[in-house]
Every structure is written in structure tokens, then in C-alpha cells.
């Protein structure tokens, strides 16, 4: 491996998620998910956007596979819509829903692209939310039954499985902040949801292995290095609480340490109910850890008692004033944060393998003369792929990188106003226009090395 090259078996991929790209929300037996309900509730998303049509990938998947093949993409991370497969959450399996993913997997394999399947990327069947959703322990069993239906159909061809995407976002943004479906604002509920997500992961890992001998199974966490805004003891302590809430709350139980004691003390009476074997089940060994990295979180302390967690991230203006380049999401561009994160995870938790399952940037793209030139995205990706390479050189077992995202799509509460794709979507015509970042990524993959943006 020369200085700028990646290991020979390094995997270069792109990622998407079902509700963000598929559309076709009432076709072939699909029933509503919590995101259909939420996005159709006035005031929840920018411009009232919904995933009703999205990128129409449900009908254009063959074109999308061709796009990936032309770029030399080696692996595709996508998610399966639970409400297509088990529309009412429990009970009847919908064969037509599975047929779609069956064809997609065959199409990918024909194009020499390895499928990485996420089982839960936020689209809970609404029928289950009506019975309490992830706060209800019965949803854990429903998820196990859904996963079993999927692996029975796809397990002869799919080798890489991700149980959950970003359980912190599901629990805390969906059930504490209320900015995501189901729009609940209750810390106790968020903690119970987080526990059930982790438990369901622990139960599904052995199920996937027993149903598919070649299965390699992991979970994807959104992790962010916690940086204090100043060196004051108050801000340093606030960064410790952010780390406890976002990172350690999930990593510690997954790696056999139970819930972190400082945060257990802080949550106090809000702690979730857990049954005797839950922590042992959650700590089931996995084959890899998926990490979604976008930015480090820079926080300051809030006055004690102001809010249970007692920290606040710096605003876009504060970040800009501090000299950070900031993306459309208001997130600072800090590639070194990725090296820091990967080396820390390697040192403190020692997963056998790591994949970056998401990394990318929302940039305000414009079509000019039929092309989209996105040098800021290229600079972001250049910095972060190089940061990943440095972590490998430092010994982190990083096996692959998935760029978020293959194409612009429904960015949850922000609707279609945030574009993360390396392929531009014209939502009026559904035309797909590869951006200059797509050409850059194609060259990175071909060279298996970080190539210079200036040569484009």
C-alpha cells in the first residue's frame, strides 16, 4: 500500500434509504409508515415535502443500477421498507414487497455490485406506532419476525446486513426533539425506544446468522467527536455529556459494558425498563461496526437545570465566526474529526471491522448548461477519504467507505431542500445528472486512492 492508496480489498460504495428515494408509497401492497403520516402532517417538513414520489427509484431502479455500474461503484447500501414486506407490522408477509428487493439484489449482483442491506432505516409501519411503536416491547418481536421474512427471501444472495441505522436519531430526534417521525417530545420515551432498538439488534444478529451461513452482520451508529467550545470546566463537562448521550450510550452496551454510569445517574428515574437478559443480548458479537460520520459536535454548557442534558451545539454563525467552513446543513467541515473518531473507536472498543456507512455533504447545487459543478462537495469528500486513509495507516480496521448519497433525495425534515447526492435529481422530470463529484469519485475508485480534485 503506497502512501495515498487504500488496501486492495477496500470497498467503495454509495448509500441510500428506502423512504428517501423509492416513492410508490401505495403500490404493490405497501401500507403507510410513520414517515408517511409525519410528512403529511402540516408543519413537519420544509415546503410540506413528502416521500410520495421522491426519486421514483421504485420504478427507475434499473437506471440507477446502470448509473452505479458506470461509476464503478463496488457496493450499494440500501434499506428495505418494512411496510412493503409486513404492511401491518405483524402478521401477513407481502410477497410483492419482497419481489422488489429480490429483483434489485439480482440486478446489483449482475452489475457486480455487492448489496449491503439495512433492515431498519426509520420507516416503521404506522400500524405498529398506533400500538406504541418502538416504546412498546412488542415491536422488538415484530422486528424479529420481519427480519426473518427478509433473510428467508434474500439470505441466499445478500452477505452484508445492517440491523439499524442511527438508533440515536431514531430515538432522540424522533422521540425527544420531535423533529422526526413519530414527532414525540419525551425523554423517557426516547430512552425506552433506544433500549428496544438495541435489544432488537441483539435478537436479529443470531437470527440472520442461523438463516444465512455467509451473513456478516453489524449495526450503524451516527457518531460524532464531542468537542468543547472553550476550555472552561463547564464546557468540558458538557462535551462529556454529549459524548455520553450520543456515542457511549450506544457503543458501551453493544460492546458489553452496559449503559454508561455517568449518564445512568443523569437520566435517573427516566431510565428505560430492562429485563434480566437484555444487556447480554445487546452485547452479542458482531462482524463489523458501521459508522456514519458527518461532523464533530462543538458544544457549550447550558445553565444547570435548563435542560436535562445541559449542552447546546454551536450555531451556524458561531461556527463560521470560529473559522469553520459550514455546509447547507449548518455542519462544520472537519475531516480530522473522522480520523480522531476512527482511531478512538479502534482503541476503546476494538471492533473486528469498521465500515464508514455514510459520509457526505449537503451543498446548494445548481444546474448550469446541463451540468452540475460541485467543488465544495469534492473538497469535503477529498478531505474525508484522506482522513479515512490516515486512520487505516494508524491501524483502524476500516474495510470500506459508503458515500451519502448516490443521488439527491428526501432529507427527512428538510425535504428536498438539502442535496447530498453525487447525482443530481431534477424532481420535475426525474432526470439524473451526475455531478462533477461523481466523476471525481469514479476516479478515486478506479485508482483505489484519493485523487486530486484539481485535475477535474
Alpha-carbon separation of residue 193 from 190, 219, 263, 274, 278 (angstroms): 5, 16, 16, 11, 14
Catalytic residue among 22, 166, 328, 411: 166
Active site residue 411: no
CB of 423 closer than 8 Å to CB of 438: yes
CB-based contacts of 14: which residues, under 8 Å, 6+ apart? 68, 73, 76, 77, 402, 403, 404, 405, 406, 422
With CB atoms as reference, the residue minimizing the distance to ligand JSK is 313
CB-nearer residue toward ligand JSK: 49 or 411: 411
Active site residue 340: no
Q: Which is nearer to ligand JSK, 6 or 76 (CB)?
A: 76
Q: Are 152 and 215 in contact (CB under 8 A)?
A: no
Catalytic residue among 63, 261, 307, 358: 358
Report the nearest approach of ligand JSK to the CB of residue 271 (Å): 21
- The least CB distance from residue 315 to ligand JSK, in Å, is 9
Residue whose CB is less far from ligand JSK, 222 or 339:
222
Distance of CA 393 to the CA centre of its chain: 25
Q: Which of 10, 52, 114 is nearest to 427 (CA)?
A: 52
First to last CA, the chain: 24
Taking the complex as a whole, the smallest distance from the CB of residue 224 to ligand JSK amounts, in Å, to 4
Beta carbons of 333 and 380 less than 8 angstroms apart: yes
3-class secondary-structure state, position 423: strand
Instruction: Report the residue number, 184 or 341, with the smaller CB distance to ligand JSK.
Output: 341
Q: Which residues lie near ligand JSK (CB under 6 A)?
A: 17, 20, 166, 169, 222, 224, 246, 292, 294, 297, 313, 358, 404, 411
Residue count (the chain): 456
Separation between Cα atoms, residue 61 and residue 334, nearest integer Å: 34
Residue 219 and residue 143 in contact, taking contact as beta carbons nearer than 8 Å: no
Q: How far is the CB of 212 from ligand JSK (least distance, A)?
A: 25
Three cell numbers, residue 193: 425506544
Q: From the CB of 333, what's the least distance to ligand JSK, in Å?
A: 14
Q: Which is nearer to ligand JSK, 397 or 415 (CB)?
A: 415
Catalytic residues: 166, 358
Amino acid at each position: 500500500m503506497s502512501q495515498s492508496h487504500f488496501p486492495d480489498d477496500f470497498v467503495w460504495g454509495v448509500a441510500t434509504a428506502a423512504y428517501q428515494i423509492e416513492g410508490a408509497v401505495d403500490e404493490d401492497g405497501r401500507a403507510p409508515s410513520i414517515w408517511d403520516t409525519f410528512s403529511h402532517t402540516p408543519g413537519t417538513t420544509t415546503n410540506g415535502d413528502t416521500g410520495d414520489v421522491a426519486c421514483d427509484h421504485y420504478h427507475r431502479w434499473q437506471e440507477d443500477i446502470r448509473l452505479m455500474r458506470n461509476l464503478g461503484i463496488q457496493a450499494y447500501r440500501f434499506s428495505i421498507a418494512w411496510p412493503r414486506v409486513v404492511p401491518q407490522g405483524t402478521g401477513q408477509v407481502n410477497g410483492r414487497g419482497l419481489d422488489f428487493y429480490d429483483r434489485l439484489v439480482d440486478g446489483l449482483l449482475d452489475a457486480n455490485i455487492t448489496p449491503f442491506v439495512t433492515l431498519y432505516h426509520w420507516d416503521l409501519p404506522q400500524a405498529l406506532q398506533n400500538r406504541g411503536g418502538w416504546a412498546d416491547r412488542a415491536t422488538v418481536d415484530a422486528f424479529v419476525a420481519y427480519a426473518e421474512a427478509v433473510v428467508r427471501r434474500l439470505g441466499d444472495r445478500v452477505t452484508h446486513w445492517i440491523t439499524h441505522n442511527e438508533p440515536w436519531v431514531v430515538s432522540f430526534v424522533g422521540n425527544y426533539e420531535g423533529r422526526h417521525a413519530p414527532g414525540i417530545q419525551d425523554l423517557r420515551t426516547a430512552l425506552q425506544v433506544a433500549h428496544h432498538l438495541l435489544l432488537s439488534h441483539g435478537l436479529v444478529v443470531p437470527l440472520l446468522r442461523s438463516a444465512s451461513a455467509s451473513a456478516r452482520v453489524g449495526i450503524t451508529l451516527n457518531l460524532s467527536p464531542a468537542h468543547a467550545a472553550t476550555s472552561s470546566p463547564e464546557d468540558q463537562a458538557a462535551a462529556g455529556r454529549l459524548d455520553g448521550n450520543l456515542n457511549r450510550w450506544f457503543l458501551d452496551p453493544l460492546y458489553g459494558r452496559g449503559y454508561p454510569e455517568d449518564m445512568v445517574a443523569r437520566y435517573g428515574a427516566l431510565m428505560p425498563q430492562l429485563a434480566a437478559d437484555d444487556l447480554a443480548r445487546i452485547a452479542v458479537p458482531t462482524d463489523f461496526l458501521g459508522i456514519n460520520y458527518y461532523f464533530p459536535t462543538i458544544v457549550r454548557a447550558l445553565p444547570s437545570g435548563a435542560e436535562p442534558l445541559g449542552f447546546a451545539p454551536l450555531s451556524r454563525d458561531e461556527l463560521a465566526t470560529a473559522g469553520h467552513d459550514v455546509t447547507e446543513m449548518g455542519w462544520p467541515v472537519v475531516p480530522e474529526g473522522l480520523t480522531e473518531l476512527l482511531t478512538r473507536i479502534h482503541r476503546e472498543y476494538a471492533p473486528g471491522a469498521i465500515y464508514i456507512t455514510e459520509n457526505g455533504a449537503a451543498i446548494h447545487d445548481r444546474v448550469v448548461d446541463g451540468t452540475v459543478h460541485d467543488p465544495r462537495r469534492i473538497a469535503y469528500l477529498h478531505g474525508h477519504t484522506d482522513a479515512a486513509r490516515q486512520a487505516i495507516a494508524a491501524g483502524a480496521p476500516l474495510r470500506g467507505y459508503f458515500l451519502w448519497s448516490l443521488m439527491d433525495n428526501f432529507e427527512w425534515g428538510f425535504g428536498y431542500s438539502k442535496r447530498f447526492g453525487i447525482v443530481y435529481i431534477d424532481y420535475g422530470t426525474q432526470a439524473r445528472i451526475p455531478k462533477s463529484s461523481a466523476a471525481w469519485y469514479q476516479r478515486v475508485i478506479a485508482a483505489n486512492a484519493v485523487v486530486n480534485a484539481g485535475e477535474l
